[in-house]
Amino acid sequence: MANPQNEKRLKNRILVFIGSFFGPLILRFLYNTNKIEIIGDKNYKDAISSGKSVIVASWHSTLLTTFMALSQNKYYGMASNHHPDAEIISRVGKKLGWNIVRGSSTDGGKKAYDEMVNILKNPGNLFAITPDGPQGPAKIPKAGTIKAAQRTGAVIVPSSGQTSKYWSFTNWHTFYLSKPFGKMVQIYGEPIIFNESDDFETCVRQLKNALDDLEQITESYYT
């Protein structure tokens, strides 16, 4: 009699193999066939050039536009642990040129946070993160992004992107996936610096407002 646990492991391994093999090909096709307009990338590039480390923050719903716009640069990103979807994301990210740190606020969070802090302490590094990921609540920044910036002096650059044609999927938020042969805009906002002495709740509101404002701009771009 077949063991259900063994069947589940086999199914997950097959899913991970298929996803990690075809995922990069599919994402490159979907996003690279769009005409891309990038606005404000000087904001993170100047910070890196001046010797600062940078956190590029975007809401989880639009992470793929940021993910693709910054790929092939050996920047850092985060994927959670112990889940087939996260394993696929991690493998796809590596094939697209990302350095992936494993963990999240709910899974291996302390280890992942410490690793992110160590990376950001080195000048010139860029770490892309979704402050509300991986499980929400949507559009509410968690502590890790802000506290890492306060602890390391890293600059936070808010970011948002949208495509003219897309599929949307609703779970704990609405997630967007580009359709091919359209247009894409990626906007990087003004840098934000949080000092260790800054009030945490004030920092949360400032980051949320910056990300919400950029999202409204990108959502209206093709309407």
pLDDT band at residue 43 using 50, 70 and 90 as cut-offs: very high
Give the chain's mean pLDDT. Answer: 89
Burial class (CB in 10 A: 0-12, 13-18, 19+), 42: exposed
Determine the pLDDT at residue 133: 75
Sequence ranges of the domains in the chain:
4-219
pLDDT band at residue 110 using 50, 70 and 90 as cut-offs: confident
**Eight-state DSSP code of residue 192:** B
Determine the pLDDT at residue 180: 97
Order of strands, edge to edge, in the sheet holding 155-163? 35-39, 183-188, 155-163, 54-57, 126-129, 76-79, 99-102
Determine the pLDDT at residue 6: 67
**Dihedral sign (CA 106, 110, 115, 118):** positive
Query: Alpha-carbon distance 3 to 177, whole Å?
Result: 36
Query: Alpha-carbon distance 141 to 66, whole Å?
Result: 17
Determine the pLDDT at residue 197: 96
pLDDT band at residue 80 using 50, 70 and 90 as cut-offs: confident
4-219 CATH: 3.40.1130.10
pLDDT band at residue 74 using 50, 70 and 90 as cut-offs: confident
